[in-house]
Structure 1
Amino acid sequence: MLIQFKNIRFLLLVLMLPILLWAKDHKSLHPAVRLLDQHGTPVIQSGEPVSTDKTCGTCHDYQYITAHSYHVQQGRNEFFSKDNSSDYFPDYVLSPGMFGKWCSLPNRLLAAHSVKSIEDFDLGTPEWVQKCGTCHVGGGPSELDRQNRRYDTVDEKDVKGINPDYFYVKNNQLKKWDWQKSGVMEMDCFLCHTTNFDRLSRDEMLRKGQFKWAVTATLRKTGIVTRGKNGWQYNRQLFDANGFVSADVLQIIDPTTENCAQCHGFGTSGHQSFNPIFSNNILRGTLKMGRVFSPEFISESNLNIKGKDSLNFAWDVHAERLVSCSNCHYSVNNPAYNKLDPDENLGHLKFDPRIPDVNLYLNKPSHEFAKGNSCPETVADHLDNTMRTCQDCHDASQAHGWLPYREHHFKRLGCETCHIPIKKMWAFETADWTVLKKNGKYIETIRGIQGEITDSSALIIGFQPAILPRVSKDQFSNYKLMPYNLITSYYWYDQSAKRPVFTRYLKQIYLKKDKNGQWDYKSDIIQLFDANKDGKLSKMELRLDTPEKVEFIKNKLKEMGIAKPVIHGEVTPFSINHNVIDSKYAIKDCNVCHSPDSRLFKEMELAQYVPPGTDVKYAEFCAQCPDVKNITVKRSTGLFFNPGPLLKCYYIIGHDRVKWVEIIGVLSIFFSLIGIVIHDIIRVIRRHRS
């Protein structure tokens, strides 16, 4: 039997040898790719930009993929209407995705298709592609207008009125965009499916309005294309006679952590060391939630982290165990991740053999990725809670023998609450749009670092997440406590027009161009804010922290036609689900929560100051618990989050006290003692009588 087993093993080795030898010289199983332009001509002949529609679409259904991808559509296919209205978004929001939704961080509002004048026009689609395209994969609104016409095929005479898909604002004037010159940005498949992507070159093309070259620029690091004085040129040595490029040169792959990390926060699949940041052009996932998804030990990073030498564990234990983003956020029609649909399950089925065909999947791979339910991420809500959860992989009952009342804890606590006890990274705290920096951006405050994030010597101290109730998967009557980062935004709001004030009005109030063409503050602004009279405005000085400053800017806005300007404050919770630490370092001390100094009730600083007269509210579309009120506390030292009202539906033993229960308890003890005394007196009296 042993000899037979050895023979089989030897036979398998012989059969695998050719495959191993082939794999040694080939980095990709993908066949060679013929790079075509939008007319279907090999780019090596035409010299035109690469078209992923024609190139990748040769084998994969490009139209299906772009139609089934919320990364592509970004709400474009979910625009609100009379038949599809929103219950929680204000009327000025056009869609639940970043193409149409107003968010207090970018503070830009996409113009509605019905816009009639520049007074109601803030952001046109061309500028959206320029400014927002850096974190969006292309296709969708970067390729097709709201009538599903490809921009560069639309005749100028067919553009009626102020169509926001064809106009933009420059120098406070409406301008028509030349789509024939810029071209469109098709879905950039290479951004996620190659290892040698060049996001910076791609971003440069977007900023310069050369949209059609953005996809090609992504390939610069492969050597296929270079940029010279005369523009982009292809390296003929890497093409064969028919215009094909080897997949080894392209390095076509399944998406890795590095691909996702381009937009979603710092992340690696290998043990690369993290270095200090020298640019404010950082990744939003890290900025919003302090997210770092890497197997590297924190103690081995090059960051200046407090107590780093003792942090002998990975940034994320899942990354350390070789879990990648797509293992949890997989394509919903990927046969490898096929599972029973609870809405269609017959009840008696343990396994459904009707698995999608692999060939069909390769032709029509849905790019609707399984997702969770982070409250600010409102796009594609129909896919909420489709991703793998902790419970899908882990049996908590087998690993928490030390925990009393386990099932009750599992019902009321999210795993992340104990397994992400602290973030050893900085993250956003405040975005103040009531004032502007010279570059026309908000004044930001970052929590978890003593200094600026671009200062390599600044000490990173990290932060403890706020704990909020959150609706658990498929159980809207059941709330679980989960960790969050809370970001506060201040912005001007026009009560008359019932929408945020456009940033361009504030630029006219605060900024002017100097003799060198550089932006600088106007003299009256310097006079108003310059507390130390040095002729410059520091970050600490740029604050509307007195009624006089607020009134000055308010009057300026009124002079510009803003009828009723007021300052709004909004607190948005961003759920923390990454940076899970090794179980050895998770919370295991009951007193952390069950004590008068309970971690659950710790206040979190939301802002270092509050503009006078500002009403700060929890973002309406993010409400996690019914009847949310009084969640913020204003003090002379700033604005703080008070978790008490949100946790009123919980009773935390060791922390909470109910007065009537205590009174009953005291009375019970008192009357028990009285009863004992009376009983003893009666016994003594009876004994004396006898």
Structure 2
Amino acid sequence: MKAFKCHFYNLIQFKRRKSIQLCSAFVLLFPLSVLPQESMLGDVSDGSRAVPVHLIKLYDEDGSVIRPNETHLLPFSTRETCGKCHDYQKISAGLHFSAGNPAVPAGRKGEPWVLTDPVTATQIPISQRGWSGTYLPGSLSITPMQFLQKFGAHLPGGGIGEADSLIPAENYLRWQVSGKLEINCLSCHDGEAAHDQSQFAAQMPKQNFRWAAAASSGFAKVSGSAKDMPEQYDIYTAVPASVTDKIPPSVSYERSRFNSKNEVFFDIVRDIPSERCYFCHSTKVSSVERWQQDDDVHVQAGMLCVDCHSNSLDHNMTRGAESEAASTHASSLTCEGCHLGGEDRPMLAGRFGAPKPQHLGIPPVHFDKMSCTACHSGPLPTEQIATVKTSRAHKLGTHGVLKNDEVLPRILSPVFAKLENGKIAPHKLLWPSFWAELHGDSLAPLLPERVQPFLIASYVADSIKAPGNWVDMPDSMIVAVLDTLAKLDSVGTQFGYIAGGNLVKLVSSGTLTSVSHRAANPYMWPVAHDVRPAAQSLGVRGCDDCHSTGSPFYFSEVGIATPLASGHRAVLTMAEFQGSSALYQSAFALSFLFRPWLKILIIASTLIIAAVVLVYAFQGLAGLLKTFAEEN
């Protein structure tokens, strides 16, 4: 109790000091606040293409200089350290940090976070951007701290990691221990070979948010766990650490990296290496070895991801979509803008030495109906669409990750479907699967923890034997869970299970029915990479690449991922995702069998008609000559 009181006394004194400092700063800076603010030192280029040397002091979250010989060291703060020269607030509104900001447009659909639980056969698409088909974390009662623990491994910080308005009152003291997850500038801009983003990821389940950036650097080591500390733990004095067998969070710095002025050299790069992007943006195709999977053709040519996905100080990175190319410069960073150009385009083609394709023999209708990525991006379609694993969904690149291809979530790619602009493009696809409360036409997903106690023991045992994957779920277990949930609910709420593209409900004792529901529709997002060489594009071998009765482009089987034992072989054809049907495309493909004959027939008919015309022309000419001769 004495330590507890001491902690709050220190906390109150610290808050008072901070309040005095803030008030003093306001009084001193108020006259300046009404004047135009000058750009910060590091935010305006003098025109030199050379990267400035970053030999700088480290500052903790209180703005104090870090001296490695002191005790109870705090981790450096990027807000305080990088923010001395760069506009941290402006950067924090960038694409990677603003998902929870309602003032920032959601943009086109992208990859969601996926809440998975193999035991309850759950995979729920989640996004703070409010994309159609996803669920907001708050709607699932997932707090910001829980979200960071679950998904923070592949977040660059910022956003909900440091938004005071999102911290519930009951979690306030817990956040004082864990600290805020500031933007980790080093995640992208650190050129040091010793940078280890997996160490950043390892801090998330430990709630070591304020220590995460330091852990990823090449000159600091982090140990301990904030999660194991009591809420009254004081980071400044490291007391009380009441649980003696637990290690409190701490950081140690490599002293040799500090010069006599307590400055540290950061190997900061402006042109971010693609390897930094790969930690969050890798895709592995199942049953394909790494050496069998080529890099993007642009990377093989020596380009970097940021050559196309570039940004200014605001960090609103261009995504390369046609709909986002409103500015002149951004329009040149789309596929068409870079490779095609044209009189009606504001920028000339050919940036980065991009070749201009001829597309000889391809009817123009293809460019109206299909995106560039339809022919050039992603893995080639096969008879059965493969499952893929992504960094964010499967925690690729982190310690202890399950490496088998059957790990949830089940993501399929490439699925050729229509974009919002009506063009066909390759997508990744996720079939939602979760238990839910039913409220008329709407529903609310249930977190796995609410359902787990009601699962049949034998089913749970089978699930444990298949780590990371779901096992066949018999109808009897669905009946048991739905029946138990209904009996325990005091207000008569109905419950159901979303799986296999349908909503499964209990209509009477022991009887299940499946109905369609929009929440069961697959969530899809466009694929842009890896771009294949032109020699590996669809159509390079002729029309039969797509317009044949066995073409994967239309007739590939897209499996409906489901744990339901009764729905394992359910498939859809690719044509159905394009607003067409396999029957229509089969008939259309058959027409290509007769097209060579039709061409011969057209040529022969043309020759016959030409011959007839020539015969009559000569006869007419002969008649004219005869008439002319008779008159003379």
Native 8 Å contact 1:182 1:210 kept in 2: yes
SS in 1 for 2:182: coil
Amino acid at match of 2:569: T
1:186-585 alignment, distance < 5 Å? 186-196=182-192, 197-219=195-217, 222-225=218-221, 231-247=250-266, 250-265=267-282, 286=283, 290=285, 305=289, 314-331=294-311, 334=312, 365-372=313-320, 388-395=333-340, 401=358, 403-420=360-377, 422-423=379-380, 428=387, 454=403, 465-471=414-420, 476=421, 479-496=422-439, 498-510=443-455, 524-526=456-458, 542-544=471-473, 546-561=474-489, 563-568=493-498, 569-585=520-536
Cα 1:560–1:49 change in 2 (3 A) is: farther
**Alpha-carbon separation, structure 1, partners of 2:470 and 2:203:** 36
CA drift of 1:420 comes to 3.4
Q: 1:602 aligns with which of 543, 550, 555?
A: 555
**Alpha-carbon separation, structure 2, partners of 1:530 and 1:319:** 46
Is the counterpart of residue 138 in structure 1 residue 67 in structure 2?
no
**Alpha-carbon separation, structure 1, partners of 2:264 and 2:406:** 45
CA drift of 1:60 comes to 0.7
Cα 1:465–1:424 change in 2 (3 A) is: closer
**Alpha-carbon separation, structure 1, partners of 2:545 and 2:61:** 61
**Alpha-carbon separation, structure 1, partners of 2:470 and 2:220:** 50
CA drift of 1:565 comes to 1.2
CA drift of 1:428 comes to 4.1
CA drift of 1:245 comes to 1.0
Q: Structure 1: which 5+ runs fail to align? A: 1-26, 85-95, 113-120, 148-163, 169-175, 266-285, 292-302, 335-364, 432-441, 445-451, 511-523, 613-633, 659-664, 666-690
Q: 1:98 aligns with which of 127, 132, 140?
A: 127
Native 8 Å contact 1:601 1:643 kept in 2: yes
CA drift of 1:325 comes to 1.3
CA drift of 1:469 comes to 2.1
**Alpha-carbon separation, structure 2, partners of 1:535 and 1:40:** 48
Q: 1:655 aligns with which of 580, 583, 588?
A: 588
SS in 2 for 1:146: helix
C-alpha distance after superposition, 1:423-479 (max 9, x if no partner): 499964799xxxxxxxxxx9x9xxxxxxx9835999xxx9872222224xxxx4xx2
**Alpha-carbon separation, structure 2, partners of 1:382 and 1:402:** 26
**Alpha-carbon separation, structure 1, partners of 2:469 and 2:256:** 56
CA drift of 1:242 comes to 2.3
Native 8 Å contact 2:379 2:413 kept in 1: yes
Q: 2:66 aligns with which of 43, 56, 71?
A: 43
C-alpha distance after superposition, 1:359-405 (max 9, x if no partner): xxxxxx11111124599xxxx9999x868211122139986556325
CA drift of 1:253 comes to 4.5
Amino acid at match of 1:49: P
Q: Which is bigger in relative contact order (C-alpha 8 A, separation at least 6)?
A: 2
Amino acid at match of 1:487: L
Cα 1:102–1:484 change in 2 (3 A) is: closer
C-alpha distance after superposition, 1:91-143 (max 9, x if no partner): xxxxx983375998xx985336xxxxxxxx72111212222221211122111
**Alpha-carbon separation, structure 1, partners of 2:104 and 2:170:** 19
Q: 2:142 aligns with which of 105, 123, 131?
A: 123
Residue 360 of structure 1 corresponds to none
**Alpha-carbon separation, structure 2, partners of 1:206 and 1:259:** 19
**Alpha-carbon separation, structure 2, partners of 1:55 and 1:539:** 40
CA drift of 1:596 comes to 3.3
C-alpha distance after superposition, 1:507-557 (max 9, x if no partner): 3334xxxxxxxxxxxxx430x5779xx99678888222x432221121132
Amino acid at match of 1:73: S
**Alpha-carbon separation, structure 2, partners of 1:566 and 1:97:** 19
C-alpha distance after superposition, 1:301-360 (max 9, x if no partner): xx9649x7xx6x9432111011211111111xx3xxxxxxxxxxxxxxxxxxxxxxxxxx
Q: 1:165 aligns with which of 168, 171, 175?
A: 168
**Alpha-carbon separation, structure 2, partners of 1:430 and 1:369:** 24
Amino acid at match of 1:370: T
Cα 1:653–1:637 change in 2 (3 A) is: closer
| Larger gyration radius, structure 1 or structure 2 | 2
Residue 518 of structure 1 corresponds to none
Residue 639 of structure 1 corresponds to 571
Native 8 Å contact 1:371 1:387 kept in 2: no
CA root-mean-square deviation: 4.8
SS in 1 for 2:191: coil
**Alpha-carbon separation, structure 2, partners of 1:38 and 1:463:** 43
Cα 1:319–1:167 change in 2 (3 A) is: farther
CA drift of 1:500 comes to 0.9
**Alpha-carbon separation, structure 1, partners of 2:389 and 2:485:** 23
TM-score (normalised: structure 2): 0.60
Residue 350 of structure 2 corresponds to none
Residue 73 of structure 1 corresponds to 98
SS in 1 for 2:278: helix
Cα 1:35–1:570 change in 2 (3 A) is: same
Native 8 Å contact 1:226 1:233 kept in 2: yes
SS in 2 for 1:643: helix
Native 8 Å contact 2:126 2:136 kept in 1: no
Is the counterpart of residue 111 in structure 1 residue 39 in structure 2?
no
Cα 1:395–1:111 change in 2 (3 A) is: closer
Cα 1:200–1:501 change in 2 (3 A) is: same
Cα 1:427–1:165 change in 2 (3 A) is: farther
**Alpha-carbon separation, structure 1, partners of 2:454 and 2:325:** 39
Cα 1:202–1:565 change in 2 (3 A) is: same
SS in 2 for 1:32: strand
Amino acid at match of 1:416: T
Amino acid at match of 1:388: L
Cα 1:211–1:33 change in 2 (3 A) is: same
SS in 2 for 1:43: coil
CA drift of 1:578 comes to 0.7
**Alpha-carbon separation, structure 1, partners of 2:148 and 2:413:** 36
Residue 56 of structure 1 corresponds to 82
Amino acid at match of 2:319: K
C-alpha distance after superposition, 1:223-273 (max 9, x if no partner): 3556598831122221122221123xx4545322111112111xxxxxxxx
How many residues of Structure 1 are paired with residues of Structure 2 in the alignment? 447
Native 8 Å contact 1:225 1:234 kept in 2: yes
Amino acid at match of 2:91: I
Identical counterparts, % of pairs: 20
Native 8 Å contact 2:322 2:331 kept in 1: no
Native 8 Å contact 1:75 1:97 kept in 2: no
**Alpha-carbon separation, structure 2, partners of 1:647 and 1:601:** 11
SS in 2 for 1:216: helix
Cα 1:644–1:502 change in 2 (3 A) is: closer
Native 8 Å contact 2:381 2:553 kept in 1: no
TM-score (normalised: structure 1): 0.55
**Alpha-carbon separation, structure 1, partners of 2:336 and 2:205:** 43
**Alpha-carbon separation, structure 1, partners of 2:198 and 2:563:** 37
Cα 1:541–1:262 change in 2 (3 A) is: closer
SS in 1 for 2:97: helix
Residue 57 of structure 2 corresponds to 34
